[in-house]
Amino acid sequence: MNHLTLQTDLGIERVAELQAALQPHLEDDAPLQLAGDRVERVHAAGLQLLHAFVRDRAARGQTTTITQASPTLAAAARQLALAVSLGVDGTDPADMQPEHTTLPTAANGATA
């Protein structure tokens, strides 16, 4: 298992640094733990990058876990509806069932 401590600032100004830190682990088959206890500042861009990284690794069958999410990180993830997918809400994303929404179409009686 590999470990990486997330930087204290995940603001938009620091996204390139975050990407550089995550990139070497993108195709690594070993499980990865991202320590989030030091995160003090978060912007949407930082969370979007984290989400894309976790999602892309999961698509390759690789496990990524954010451990000890700081209150700042957890609150920002909840605000952007990314807490479950990032695993910072106490729920295992593997236990979640996808929600299905049916949009009205002409085939099911809706009119344009």
| 55 inside domain | yes
- Give this prediction's pTM: 0.77
- Checking if the pLDDT of 107 tops 70, the result is no
| 11 inside domain | yes
| 100 inside domain | no
Q: What is the mean pLDDT of residues 13-29?
A: 96
Cα dihedral angle (46, 48, 54, 58), rounded to 10 degrees? -170
Query: 48-97: per-residue pLDDT in tens?
Result: 999 999 999 999 999 999 999 999 999 999 999 999 999 998 654 443 33
| 99 inside domain | no
Query: 31-54: per-residue pLDDT in tens?
Result: 999 999 999 999 999 999 999 999
**Domain at 10, CATH number:** 3.30.750.24
| 16 inside domain | yes
Domain that holds residue 55: 2-89
Query: Do the Cβ atoms of 54 and 64 come closer than 8 Å?
Result: yes
User: Structural domain tally of the chain?
Assistant: 1
